[in-house]
Amino acid sequence: MTRVFSGVKPTGHLTLGNYLGAVRRWAEVDQHRTDALFCVVDLHALTVDHDPARVRRLSRQAATLLLASGLDPELCTVFVQSHVDEHARLSYLLECVATDGEARRMIQYKEKAARERERGGSVRLSLLTYPVLMAADILAYGADEVPVGDDQTQHVELTRDLAVRFNQRYGQTFVVPRATPPKVGARVMNLQDPTSKMGKTDDVGPGIVYLLDEPDVVRKKVMRAVTDSGRDVVYDREERPGLANLLEILAACTGGAPEDLSGVYESYGALKKDTAEAVVEVLRPVQEKHKELCADPSYVEGVLRLGAEKAREMARPRVDEAYRAIGLLAG
Ligand code: TYM
């Protein structure tokens, strides 16, 4: 059976981008047709300045939102990365296979490191090695597919390179995975700055729709989205990025293609109104379920405890094998 692995990082509240680019498909498709693991990758949240209490809170919230989005512990494994030691164990071995040049070429590293330096801060070493830990997340489970948004495909490419290199040097150990981004919604852009991704930790708050935003807040954010000075509602990602973003969000929410919506709307206002309502409707069941789950935190804790046990059992043999293959004495 195909094995799937993916994760979310608890560095901020989950966004519409996380949902349309990744989480919704995990729940609607991946968990039903594959042997799937979904992880709150909390170790990754320590790669930038962080507040310990906030990371704990966001990790719990992310896990609750994954379940609220429809992940079913009967169908898939939901767990927290730091509960399974194999991730960090394997990450070190992969650091011995990756090169520093490779890590420095990662776009997200370059962007985040530059932003940190601009602020006068220092860059944590773990920010550089982050994609190697991500490779360990994936390779420890022998995942064939990694359902992620566009922004993570470069990291999955690195994961492939590391798997191939390890296998060539030390013997067949890892499955070579591939990224499986969605057809629509793979790169939801910030509503206030449609040339940059809608990210959890961005400064431009009004351009980000969070999964837990109240309906009226969602409406306000979508109605105020930056578009351009044209009048016709056509889909053109290069020339009309703000408009294209709205058309993509609407298409992703209603299950269509943005190209098919080109020319359908007479005005920006009408498009924004329909988009806002479509987003509200997509988020409604998630928010309702989230409220229910918050009333029963011990259920979520139980799911995570069991998930970690299952994940540990799955990862351990392959990571042990990698330790032996690379030349370490069996303990
Ligand atoms: P993270 O937490 O930034 O995002 C979680 C998932 O959401 C997708 N995503 C988006 N998709 C479309 N439009 C957007 N604006 C948008 N923003 C985020 C991401 O592509 C991702 O699929 N490094 C990863 C977490 C990770 C991981 C892994 C993923 C760690 N280890 C192993 C897969 C496999 C990250 O920071 O995702």
pLDDT in tens, 2-53: 999 999 999 999 999 999 999 999 999 999 999 999 999 999 999 999 999 9
**18 CA to centre of ligand 1 in angstroms:** 7
Which residues are 230's β-sheet partners? none
Question: CA–CA separation, 314 vs 183, rounded Å?
Answer: 30
CATH 1.10.240.10 in the chain, residue ranges: 215-292
Q: How far is the CA of 37 from the centre of ligand 1 (A)?
A: 14
**Does the annotation list 182 as a binding residue?**
no
Q: What per-residue confidence (pLDDT) applies to 203?
A: 61
Burial class (CB in 10 A: 0-12, 13-18, 19+), 65: buried
Q: How far is the CA of 250 from the centre of ligand 1 (A)?
A: 21
The model's pLDDT over 204-244, given as tens digits with 9 standing for 90+, comes to 689 999 999 999 999 999 999 999 887 889 999 999 999 99
Out of 26, 34, 151, 249, mutate this one to test ligand 1's pocket (max ligand atoms within 8 Å of CB): namely 151
- Which of the four CATH numbers 3.40.50.300, 3.30.420.40, 3.40.50.10420, 3.40.50.620 does domain 3-181+297-326 have? 3.40.50.620
Residue closest via CA to ligand 1's atom 7 equals 18
Mutate to test the pocket of ligand 1, among 3, 4, 5, 8 (most ligand atoms within 8 A of CB): 8
Among residues of the chain, what percentage have pLDDT more than 90?
A: 94
Flag whether 137 is marked binding. Answer: yes
Q: Is 269 within any annotated ligand binding site?
A: no
What are the residue ranges of CATH 3.40.50.620 in the chain?
Answer: 3-181+297-326
Residue ranges in the chain whose pLDDT is less than 50: none
Residue 313: its pLDDT value, please?
Answer: 98
Is 18 marked as binding a ligand?
Answer: yes
Coil, strand or helix at 315? helix
pLDDT at 230: 79
Query: What CATH architecture is 215-292?
Result: Orthogonal Bundle (1.10)
Q: What is the pLDDT of residue 204?
A: 60
**Ligand 1 pocket mutation, candidates 5, 15, 18, 111, criterion most atoms within 8 A of CB:** 18
pLDDT value at position 228? 83
As a whole number of angstroms, the distance between CA 180 and CA 149 comes to: 8
Measuring from each residue's beta carbon to the nearest atom of ligand 1, which residues come in under 6 Å? Answer: 5-9, 17-18, 21-22, 41, 44, 134, 137-138, 146, 148-149, 151-152, 186-188, 197-199
pTM of the predicted structure, to 2 decimals = 0.97
Residues marked as catalytic: 112, 197, 200
Q: Provide the H-helix boundaries in the chain.
A: 16-18, 24-25, 31-33, 52-68, 86-95, 100-104, 107-118, 125-139, 153-170, 215-223, 241-254, 258-261, 268-294, 297-325
